[in-house]
Amino acid sequence: MRKNSKAALLLFFAVLLLSACSASLKEEQNAAKSAVIEAFNSTPKKTNNQNEDIEFYLPFGVEVKKETPNNIILKNGSKTYILFYNQHEGPESKVVYKATMKQNEYDLNETFTKDGRLGFLLIKNKEKKMNEMTIGIGGVKITAQSKTKNLSSDAATMIAIVNSVKMK
């Protein structure tokens, strides 16, 4: 009996400790927002990849998996990103943002502007610890599934790619 109560008490403290260490969804959304705004306001990374329509930067470990008209599927290990671009829309355009907003209702919907460019961050909590995150600037957006604990790091990777896109 005594061993069972010790085990139950140990399990209780382990759960309590783990829940205290994990960041809340709101905290991670705010961290993702900060990462996106910081990168949006900074100088874009130098492009290191291209296709017939655009030039763009890919961070280390991210590679092009498949290309279709206006879409590039990117992989980084098990993580998949979908990069969409509309070469007829500039960085100030609201067309892609408005079209994306019609597809879903988002838990976080942030827009920001600088030098005539429109940036946006959309996060939809899909499951308990999984989210759909879309980050865009004008006619370019990138979407990925992200665990809540990885929102800010995934957002930093995604905005680096989107911020670097240059239409040919």
Q: What is the pLDDT of residues 44-89, one digit of tens each?
A: 999 999 999 999 999 999 999 999 999 999 999 999 999 999 999 9
Nearby residues of 72 by Cβ (< 8 Å), 6 or more positions away: 51, 56, 64, 66, 82, 83, 85
Q: In the predicted model, is pLDDT for residue 10 greater than 70?
A: no
Residue ranges per structural domain of the chain: 23-167
Q: What is the pLDDT of residue 23?
A: 64
Name the band, by pLDDT with cuts 50, 70 and 90, for residue 3.
low
Residues 133, 158: contact at Cβ < 8 Å?
A: yes
Q: Are strands 49-50 and 71-76 parallel, antiparallel or unpaired?
A: unpaired
Rounded Cα–Cα distance for residues 77 and 62 (Å):
8
Model confidence, pTM: 0.86
The tens digit of pLDDT for each residue in 22-41 reads: 469 999 999 999 999 999 99
Assigned CATH topology for domain 23-167 = Jelly Rolls (2.60.120)
Residues 142, 84: contact at Cβ < 8 Å?
A: yes
